[in-house]
Amino acid sequence: MSIIEKIINKVLILIQLPLVLLFIIFEEVIWEGIARPIYVRIKSLRILKKFERILEITPRGVILFLFIIIFTIVETAGIMAGILFIKGQILLGLGLYLTKIPIAGFTFWLFKVTKSKLLSFSWFEWIYNKMMGFFSWLKKQDIYRDTMRLVKNLKDYFRKIKSKYFAGGEFSRRIKKLYIDMKKIFDRR
């Protein structure tokens, strides 16, 4: 391998690493930990079942307009939250970001329910396919797989700590017993 190929590989890794880390943070932390439970809850709401039936008869242009408006709001809120984080307004940025998550869950639900109508626009389908292709490419990269292995190992490690000390472990039982004993002492007074 020549020096130029080595330099190109290093530059590619420098470009891939932030993309992979952002994707993993979004996928593992935000989507799996926060957004998916919200999406599942939103999906189960009865009022949305009625809204689904309305969407079935709604023209595709109206659905596209609604989707783009909500999607733009969600993405703008995410960018604004990032700007607030950078400015040092962490709590305000966090509040804005947490506020956007249920709206993003609704947007994801709207996409799932109206996917065939949205993809009936050739330009929308093209963008969607390019995004899915990019995510597929990203997931095939060694750096992605290595980072995911690291994330899995960290999750397993934290699960072990959690089960050992907090979720039914000896430490947790001792703390609960201490709390009950202290409560009994103070309740007697």
The 10s digit of each residue's pLDDT in 31-72 is 656 666 776 777 677 777 888 889 999 999 999 999 999 999
Instruction: State the Rg of the chain over Cα.
Output: 23
Domain assignment of residue 180, given as a range = 141-189
pTM of the predicted protein model = 0.61
Structure confidence at residue 172 (pLDDT): 65
Same domain, 94 and 9: yes
Same domain, 106 and 161: no
Instruction: Please report whether residue 81 resides in a domain.
Output: yes
Write the burial class of residue 167 (CB in 10 Å: 0-12 exposed, 13-18 middle, 19+ buried): exposed
Question: Within this chain, do residues 9 and 97 fall inside the same structural domain, yes or no?
Answer: yes
Q: Is the pLDDT of residue 26 over 80?
A: no
- What is the pLDDT at residue 73? 93
Separation between Cα atoms, residue 68 and residue 65, nearest integer Å = 5
Task: Looking at the structure, tell me whether residues 168 and 93 fall in a common domain.
Answer: no
Identify whether residues 7 and 42 lie together within a single domain. Answer: yes
Q: For residue 118, is pLDDT > 70?
A: yes
- Same domain for 103 and 23: yes
Residue 126 lies in a domain: no
Q: Are residues 14 and 55 in the same domain?
A: yes
Residues 73 and 163 in one domain: no
Q: What is the pLDDT of residue 105?
A: 80
- Indicate if 86 and 56 belong to the same structural domain: yes
Q: Do 73 and 155 belong together in one domain?
A: no
How many CB atoms are closer than 10 A to CB 53? 10
